[in-house]
């Protein structure tokens, strides 16, 4: 039995969310619908793609092998849909932003929404992708602007800083009562550290932060595919982990990670080449510095949960 597009979409969503329930919530469908689709996919493959447990799900070896292929297929299908849409309505002006999964898309939606409000006919398309794909996405004219943690992408591209974000530490065993408000890299380096897969830029940024401080880290050999899984692993005692504030699931107090100059900050940049921009995209890049200054003005450009209402909607999304 050949897999359906829905089965592949649900498989990728569960892999990203780390649970059937969270994936169903993100997809706005029922949990039994997701479970049934994954069961049908596994029956057709003749093997399991997820290992189930009370803590959530983890990819089996077969699932790990399948996931990048499924993501590639879904991305290709999204590109076909986009091309068909442009053929049906050539007057539509697309503004395509490829972004790392570590970014808060609500912030990007605020950023582009302010521009689109003044530009009738412009449609924004968000494309979540691995950081290793960003160069190829732009060169293949599948994306106009790339937004990732600093240090990724073609060094010859034009860049604009959008915002920064504080990092917090989840200790081994999870949040603790009476934990300190701040923690240094040297203190964190005493414990084993949990890292995500290298698809979003967070793992590389974390390694660079410790290397700049002259500190070695003891990395847990496993890699999580979702930020929720990192929290669960920390709670299980596998190690401690560092996450941006926007990706935290827990509301318990957690120490802020500090470096010599103060709080450790993850910086997000928008990037684009000089020669692949249409007129409306150039207009967006010209306004981008002013738009970025308006994202989090009360926190001096640092991400703040109170500044990003969860009701913000995206105009379009393609994974």
Q: At what angle do helices 31-45 and 20-27 cross, to 10 degrees?
A: 110
Residue at a domain's end among 69, 95, 122: 69
Residue at a domain's end among 69, 96, 113: 69
Q: What mean pLDDT do residues 247-269 have?
A: 94
Provide the residue range defining the domain that includes 138: 70-149+269-318
**Which tokens belong to 129?**
């992708």
Task: Give the pLDDT confidence of 14-69 residue by residue, as tens digits.
Answer: 988 888 988 888 888 899 999 999 999 999 999 999 988 877 788 888 998 888 88
Mean pLDDT for the chain overall: 87
pLDDT over 50 at 219, yes or no: yes
One domain, residues 185 and 232: yes
pLDDT, residue 141, reads 81
**Domain assignment present for 226:** yes
pLDDT, residue 90, reads 57
**Domain assignment present for 158:** no
Task: Give the Cα separation of 120 and 111 in Å (integer).
Answer: 16
Higher pLDDT, 80 or 122: 122
pLDDT, residue 274, reads 85
Q: What mean pLDDT do residues 232-260 have?
A: 94
Q: Which residue shows structure tokens 């209402």? A: 309
- 15 burial (CB, 10 Å; 0-12 / 13-18 / 19+) is buried
Residue at a domain's end among 15, 38, 69: 69
- CATH code at 221? 3.40.190.10
């Amino acid at each position: 039995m050949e897999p359906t597009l829905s089965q592949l979409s649900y498989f990728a969503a569960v892999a990203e969310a780390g649970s059937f329930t969270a994936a169903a919530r993100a997809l706005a469908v029922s949990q039994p619908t997701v479970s049934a689709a994954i069961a049908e996919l596994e029956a057709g493959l003749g093997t399991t793609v997820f290992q189930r447990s009370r803590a959530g799900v983890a990819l089996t070896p077969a699932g790990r092998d399948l996931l990048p292929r499924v993501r590639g297929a879904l991305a290709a299908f999204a590109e076909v849909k986009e091309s068909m849409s442009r053929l049906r309505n050539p007057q539509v002006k697309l503004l395509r932003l490829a972004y790392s999964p570590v970014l808060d898309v609500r912030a990007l939606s605020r950023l582009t929404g302010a521009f689109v409000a003044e530009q009738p006919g412009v449609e924004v398309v968000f494309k979540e992708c691995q950081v290793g794909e960003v160069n190829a996405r732009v060169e293949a004219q599948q994306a106009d602007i790339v937004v990732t943690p600093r240090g990724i992408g073609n060094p010859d591209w034009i860049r604009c800083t959008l915002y920064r974000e504080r990092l917090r530490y989840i200790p081994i065993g999870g949040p603790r009562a009476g934990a300190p408000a701040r923690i240094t890299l040297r203190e964190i380096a005493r414990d084993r550290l949990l890292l995500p897969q290298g698809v979003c830029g967070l793992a590389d940024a974390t390694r660079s932060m410790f290397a700049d401080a002259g500190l070695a880290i003891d990395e847990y050999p496993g890699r999580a595919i979702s930020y929720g899984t990192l929290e669960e692993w920390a709670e299980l005692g596998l190690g401690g982990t560092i996450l941006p504030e926007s990706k935290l699931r827990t509301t318990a107090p957690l120490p802020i990670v500090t470096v010599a100059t103060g709080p450790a900050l993850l910086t997000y940049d928008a990037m684009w080449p000089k020669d692949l921009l249409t007129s409306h995209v150039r207009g967006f890049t010209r306004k981008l510095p002013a738009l970025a200054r308006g994202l989090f003005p009360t926190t001096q450009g640092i991400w703040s949960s109170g500044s990003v209402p969860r009701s913000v909607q995206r105009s379009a999304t393609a994974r």
